C-alpha cells in the first residue's frame, strides 16, 4: 500500500498557524474516512522539547509513550482525537545521533558521511517508516521553521527527494504564507508570499497548494496575483482568514474545495458519504463556542507571560466548559506576584495551579494552595500544584514550619515532597523524568472515585513525588490520598474531603482532554466552581 504524503512548509515568519493548517487538512481527510496521522519536524538541535523553557517555546506536550514533544503534537491529538506516538516529532538531534552512531559502528563501509545522502536518507527513512508501520492512507508532515532557515534545509531537501521518488500523484506540498493588510482599505499585500515561494522554488520545491493567512477572506484579485507569481493555479490558493476558533479552520478550507483538490491530485476517486462524521465534528465545534454565562478561573503559575506555555490546560478548561454549557474565562496570574495581595484570588470561582519546575514563584504557589483551602475556593492542582498543595498542608495545618519539596530546598528536614528514588542516580536531565502513561488505582468513596471510577490511565512528567513517610500525619489532619500507582509506591491524587472541592493530581490530565471528550477532573472542578 502506498501512503500519500502532504508536506506543509512555512514562509514569511513563524507563528502563522502552520500547525493549525496541518491539523485542519489532516482532520478533513479523517472526516473523509482516510486513515491519517501527522508528523512534526523540528529543525532545532535539541533532541526533544523536554529541556526547553515553555515561556520561550510553548508547552512541552507529553505523549502516551512518554515523549516530551512540541506543542503542535497536542494540536494534532486534539483535532484528530487520536494518540500520536513520540516518533512523530522528529528533530535534527535525533537524525544526527542516528547517523553518527551508525558511522561509529562502521555501518557506512568507509564512505564519506554527508548531509546528502546520509542525513536526508535517515529523514526519509523515519517518515516512510511511520507511514508503513501505521498503515496510513495519508501522512501530513509539518516542517517547522520558515523557508530560508539554515536549520531546515536538510529536511526540505529530504522532502524534495521523497517527492521525486514517490511521484507527484503521491506527494503534495502545501506552503503556508501571510498576506498582510496595512491600511484601513484592506489591500492585501502579496509580496511576502511571492518572496517566500521564490525561496522555496530556489531549493527545488514548487508548492502545489498555497494557504494564505490573512485577517479578512482573501480577495479574488489577491488570489489571482498570488497564483501568477507562485506558479500555482488560482483554485489551489486557499484563504486562511481569521476565525473565532481554530476548530473552524477545517470548515473554511473545506468550503473552498480543498478536499476535492487533494483527492484529485492524489488520483483518489469516489468520495464516500461522510455526513455522519461531519455532524459529530460540527456539534463539537459549536459546543465549544457556547456562551451561557462565565466561570472565572484564576490560573496561578510560573510561566504566565506566554499563553502557549499552558496551552493544553487552556484547551482542557474550554472542553470541560463546553460540556457543562459555560464559557470559561481564565486570568493568568504570575505566582511570583502573590504576596500580601492574596485576597485578589477571592473573586474567582475556582483556582487552578498547573505544572512547574524550580524555586522561582514556588512560594506564591504554596500560599495560593493554602488560601484556596482556607477560603473554601474550588482548587485543582496539577503536578507542581499537587505537590505544593501537600507542602502547604504540611506547613499550615500539620505545623511543620519548614515543610517543603526537596526540589525547592534540598536540605529541608521535612521533605513532604521528595525525589523519586530511581532519580537519585540520574545525571542526564533530558528525557529522564517519570514520563508518559501510567495506570492509577483509585480508592472507594472519594472525589477521585466519583470522577474516574476505580482506575484511570493518565500521562506523567515529574521527578519528585509525595514522601510516603508523611501520609499518616497528613491524613490524620484531614488530607487524604485517594489514588496510587506502581503498586502503592506513588501517590497520585490528594483531596480534602471537608472542602467544597480540593483536588490535586500528580499526573497531567490536560494532555488527555479533547474537544467533545473533556477530561473528567476538569469537568468535576468546573462543576464545583459553578455550584
Ligand atoms: N517540578 C516537579 C517535579 O519535577 C513538578 C513537575 C511538573 O509540574 N510537571 O516533580
CATH number at residue 343: 3.40.50.880
295 lines ligand 1 (CB under 6 A): no
Cα dihedral across residues 295, 298, 302, 306: positive or negative: positive
54 lines ligand 1 (CB under 6 A): no
Q: What is the CA radius of gyration of the chain?
A: 25
The predicted model gives 246-257 an average pLDDT of: 95
206 and 304 assigned to the same domain:
no
| CA-closest residue to ligand 1 atom 6 | 462
Banded pLDDT at 270 (limits 50, 70, 90): low
Residue 340 is predicted with a pLDDT of 82
Q: Whole-angstrom Cα distance, residue 496 to residue 279?
A: 41
294 and 271 assigned to the same domain:
no
Banded pLDDT at 290 (limits 50, 70, 90): confident
254 and 382 assigned to the same domain:
no
Distance (Å) from CA 492 to ligand 1 centroid: 13
In the chain, % of residues over pLDDT 70: 99
142 lines ligand 1 (CB under 6 A): no
Lowest-confidence segment of 227-241, 326-340, 460-474 by average pLDDT: 326-340
433 and 305 assigned to the same domain:
yes
329 and 419 assigned to the same domain:
yes
Banded pLDDT at 426 (limits 50, 70, 90): confident
Distance (Å) from CA 195 to ligand 1 centroid: 44
270 and 296 assigned to the same domain:
no
238 lines ligand 1 (CB under 6 A): no
Distance (Å) from CA 207 to ligand 1 centroid: 43
CA distances from 199 to 6, 149, 156, 179, 306 (A): 19, 10, 12, 16, 31
451 and 430 assigned to the same domain:
yes
- Domain end position, chosen among 221, 255, 283: 283
| Cis preceding-peptide flag for 482 (omega within 30 of 0) | no
Identify the bridge partners of residue 483 per DSSP, sorted by sequence position. 442, 493
141 and 23 assigned to the same domain:
yes
Distance (Å) from CA 504 to ligand 1 centroid: 13
304 and 358 assigned to the same domain:
yes
**Any idea which residues carry the catalytic annotation?**
383, 508, 510
The predicted model gives 196-224 an average pLDDT of: 95
The predicted model gives 228-256 an average pLDDT of: 95
Residue 272 is predicted with a pLDDT of 66
Residue 274 is predicted with a pLDDT of 80
Residue 269 is predicted with a pLDDT of 67
What does the mean pLDDT of the chain come to? 94
Pocket test for ligand 1, best of 335, 355, 416 (most atoms within 8 A of CB): 355
Q: Whole-angstrom Cα distance, residue 25 to residue 5?
A: 12
Using one digit for the tens of pLDDT, what is the confidence trace for 470-498? 999 999 999 999 999 999 999 999 999 99
CA distances from 528 to 231, 321, 518 (A): 56, 12, 15
- Domain end position, chosen among 249, 283, 317: 283
Q: Which three cell numbers stand for residue 251?
A: 470548515
226 and 351 assigned to the same domain:
no
This prediction has a pTM of: 0.95
CATH of the domain at 40: 3.40.50.300
Domain containing 412: what range? Answer: 290-530
265 and 315 assigned to the same domain:
no
Query: Considering its fold, how many domains does the chain have in total?
Result: 2
- Domain end position, chosen among 226, 256, 283: 283
Using one digit for the tens of pLDDT, what is the confidence trace for 318-370? 999 999 999 999 999 999 999 889 999 999 999 999 999 999 999 999 999 99
The predicted model gives 501-517 an average pLDDT of: 98
Nearest to 193 by CA among 16, 398, 356: 16
302 and 205 assigned to the same domain:
no
461 lines ligand 1 (CB under 6 A): yes
Distance (Å) from CA 355 to ligand 1 centroid: 6
Amino acid at each position: 500500500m502506498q501512503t500519500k504524503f502532504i508536506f506543509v512548509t512555512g514562509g514569511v515568519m513563524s507563528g502563522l498557524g502552520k500547525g493549525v493548517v496541518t491539523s485542519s487538512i489532516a482532520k478533513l481527510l479523517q472526516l473523509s474516512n482516510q486513515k491519517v496521522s501527522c508528523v512534526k519536524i523540528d529543525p532545532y538541535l535539541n533532541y526533544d522539547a523536554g529541556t526547553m523553557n515553555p515561556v520561550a517555546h510553548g508547552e512541552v506536550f507529553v505523549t502516551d509513550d512518554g515523549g516530551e514533544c512540541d506543542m503542535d503534537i497536542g494540536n494534532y491529538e486534539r483535532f484528530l482525537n487520536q494518540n500520536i506516538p513520540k516518533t512523530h516529532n522528529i528533530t535534527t538531534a535525533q537524525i544526527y545521533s542516528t547517523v553518527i552512531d551508525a558511522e561509529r559502528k562502521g555501518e557506512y563501509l568507509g564512505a564519506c558521511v554527508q548531509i546528502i545522502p546520509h542525513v536526508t536518507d535517515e529523514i526519509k527513512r523515519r517518515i516512510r517508516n511511520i507511514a508503513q508501520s501505521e498503515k496510513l492512507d495519508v501522512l501530513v508532515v509539518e516542517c517547522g521553521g520558515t523557508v530560508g532557515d539554515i536549520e531546515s534545509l536538510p529536511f526540505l531537501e529530504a522532502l524534495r527527494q521523497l517527492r521525486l521518488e514517490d511521484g507527484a500523484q503521491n506527494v503534495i506540498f502545501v506552503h503556508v504564507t501571510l498576506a498582510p493588510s496595512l491600511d484601513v482599505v484592506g489591500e492585501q499585500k502579496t509580496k511576502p508570499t511571492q518572496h517566500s515561494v521564490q525561496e522555496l522554488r530556489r531549493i527545488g520545491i514548487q508548492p502545489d497548494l498555497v494557504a494564505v493567512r490573512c485577517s479578512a477572506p482573501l480577495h479574488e484579485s489577491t488570489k489571482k496575483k498570488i497564483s501568477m507569481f507562485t506558479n500555482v493555479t488560482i483554485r489551489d490558493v486557499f484563504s486562511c482568514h481569521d476565525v473565532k476558533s481554530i476548530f473552524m479552520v477545517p470548515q473554511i478550507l473545506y468550503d473552498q474545495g480543498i478536499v476535492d483538490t487533494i483527492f484529485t491530485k492524489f488520483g483518489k476517486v469516489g468520495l464516500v458519504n461522510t455526513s455522519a462524521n461531519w455532524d459529530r465534528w460540527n456539534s463539537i465545534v459549536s459546543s465549544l463556542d457556547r456562551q451561557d454565562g462565565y466561570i472565572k478561573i484564576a490560573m496561578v503559575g510560573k510561566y504566565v507571560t506566554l499563553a502557549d506555555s499552558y496551552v493544553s490546560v487552556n484547551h482542557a478548561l474550554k472542553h470541560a466548559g463546553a460540556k457543562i454549557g459555560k464559557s470559561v474565562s481564565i486570568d493568568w496570574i504570575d505566582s511570583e506576584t502573590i504576596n500580601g495581595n492574596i485576597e485578589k484570588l477571592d473573586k474567582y470561582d475556582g483556582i487552578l495551579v498547573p505544572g512547574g519546575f524550580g524555586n522561582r514563584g514556588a512560594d506564591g504557589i504554596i500560599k495560593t494552595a493554602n488560601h484556596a483551602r482556607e477560603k473554601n475556593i474550588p482548587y485543582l492542582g496539577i503536578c507542581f500544584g499537587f505537590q505544593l498543595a501537600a507542602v502547604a498542608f504540611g506547613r499550615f495545618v500539620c505545623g511543620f514550619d519548614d515543610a517543603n519539596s526537596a526540589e525547592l530546598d534540598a536540605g529541608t528536614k521535612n521533605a513532604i515532597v521528595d525525589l523519586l528514588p530511581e532519580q537519585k542516580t540520574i545525571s542526564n536531565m533530558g528525557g529522564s523524568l517519570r514520563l508518559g502513561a501510567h495506570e492509577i488505582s483509585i480508592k472507594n468513596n472519594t472525589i477521585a472515585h466519583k470522577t474516574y471510577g476505580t482506575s484511570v490511565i493518565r500521562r506523567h512528567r515529574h521527578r519528585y513525588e509525595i514522601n510516603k513517610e508523611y501520609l499518616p500525619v497528613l491524613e490524620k489532619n484531614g488530607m487524604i490520598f485517594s489514588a496510587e500507582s506502581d503498586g502503592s509506591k506513588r501517590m497520585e491524587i490528594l483531596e480534602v474531603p471537608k472542602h467544597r472541592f480540593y483536588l490535586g493530581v500528580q499526573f497531567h490530565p490536560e494532555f488527555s482532554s479533547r474537544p467533545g471528550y473533556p477530561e473528567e477532573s476538569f469537568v468535576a472542578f468546573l462543576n464545583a466552581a459553578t455550584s
